[in-house]
């Protein structure tokens, strides 16, 4: 797999400088195109469908209020984007075939953010999202994981750099872990060190971590295996502790989800990693 197109949904101006610079550095790492997507909702989408209940004058006032808010709120962010592109030497332009250097483009897109991410993510190689606030999965993360079918890179909100040297693969032999490894191949090939970590509870689960090690070797990727004991810690916390002990700067893992009556629920491993990780996560569902 080659990473050539990346999308980044942008919904708030908190830590805008770091988040934009981080995403742009991801694009530089892959020599890829970054599309920053600012989803904008038409005020009429927020009002009752029974248009006869609301006058045209009221619609116009609401539309003007929302437009003024969006313009004021994101004018400085757009300037930050322009300045950061200039600082990093990244040309602003739409994606073009056969481009050989990283480029970026800011796009205001009408619609709800989740729907925009789900649609645009299907035709991108990677979606970059910030680590959710307060540990709860964000609309962007859920849409990308559950509907795009492509990998998601979760970046700490204040991390502006991306150049992983030591990559940890959280392995248990499940389909999601397999897909995560496949999506991470461009990163694994460039890493100085690749460590496959497995809980003692999953050590015998097939395919085993040694099987993965042999598979990666066929792709000229050298790796080594570590089996960790979670003890009194839960497995996701043990994953984070093991990654920290090995000075990892990226964790590759599957994102685990299941449905419960009209609501998407993420498994304990995914939720804990989202809440507590201090390094980027490359995930896929």
Low-confidence ranges of the chain (pLDDT < 70): 41-73, 135, 231-233, 257-267
Give the pair of three-digit tokens for residue 234: 């839960």
pTM of the model: 0.88
- Contact at 8 Å (CB) between 21 and 104? no
The pLDDT assigned to 48 comes to 54
Report CA torsion sign: 273, 275, 280, 283.
Answer: positive
The pLDDT assigned to 39 comes to 83
Backbone φ and ψ for 205, nearest 5 degrees, come out as: -70, 135
Give the pair of three-digit tokens for residue 105: 């483009």
Alpha-carbon span 22 to 253, nearest angstrom: 20
Q: What separation in angstroms does the CA of 222 have from each of 157, 189, 253?
A: 31, 9, 18
Alpha-carbon span 161 to 68, nearest angstrom: 33
- Contact at 8 Å (CB) between 200 and 235? no
Q: Is the peptide bond before 207 cis (omega within 30 degrees of 0)?
A: yes
């Amino acid at each position: 797999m080659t990473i050539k197109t990346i999308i980044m949904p942008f919904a708030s101006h908190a830590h805008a400088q770091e988040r934009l610079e981080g995403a742009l550095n991801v694009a530089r790492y892959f020599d890829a195109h970054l599309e920053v997507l600012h989803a904008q909702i038409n005020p009429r989408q927020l009002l009752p469908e029974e248009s006869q209940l609301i006058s045209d004058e009221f619609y116009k006032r609401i539309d003007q209020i929302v437009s003024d808010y969006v313009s004021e709120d994101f004018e400085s962010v757009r300037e930050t984007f322009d300045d950061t592109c200039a600082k990093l030497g990244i040309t602003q332009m739409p994606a073009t075939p056969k481009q050989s250097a990283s480029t970026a483009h800011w796009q205001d897109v009408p619609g709800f953010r989740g729907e925009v991410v789900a649609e645009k993510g299907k035709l991108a190689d990677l979606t970059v999202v910030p680590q959710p606030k307060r540990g709860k999965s964000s609309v962007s993360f859920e849409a990308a994981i559950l509907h795009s079918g492509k990998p998601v890179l979760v970046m700490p909100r204040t991390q502006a750099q991306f150049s992983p040297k030591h990559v940890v693969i959280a392995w248990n032999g499940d389909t999601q872990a397999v897909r995560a490894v496949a999506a991470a191949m461009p990163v694994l090939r460039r890493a100085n060190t690749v460590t496959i970590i497995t809980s003692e509870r999953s050590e015998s689960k097939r395919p085993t971590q040694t099987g993965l090690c042999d598979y990666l070797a066929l792709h000229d990727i050298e790796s080594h295996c570590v089996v960790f004991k979670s003890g009194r810690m839960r497995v996701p916390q043990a994953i984070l502790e093991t990654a920290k002990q090995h000075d990892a700067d990226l964790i590759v893992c599957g994102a685990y989800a299941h449905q419960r009556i009209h609501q998407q629920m993420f498994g304990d491993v995914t939720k804990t990693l989202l809440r507590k990780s201090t390094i980027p996560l490359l995930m896929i569902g």
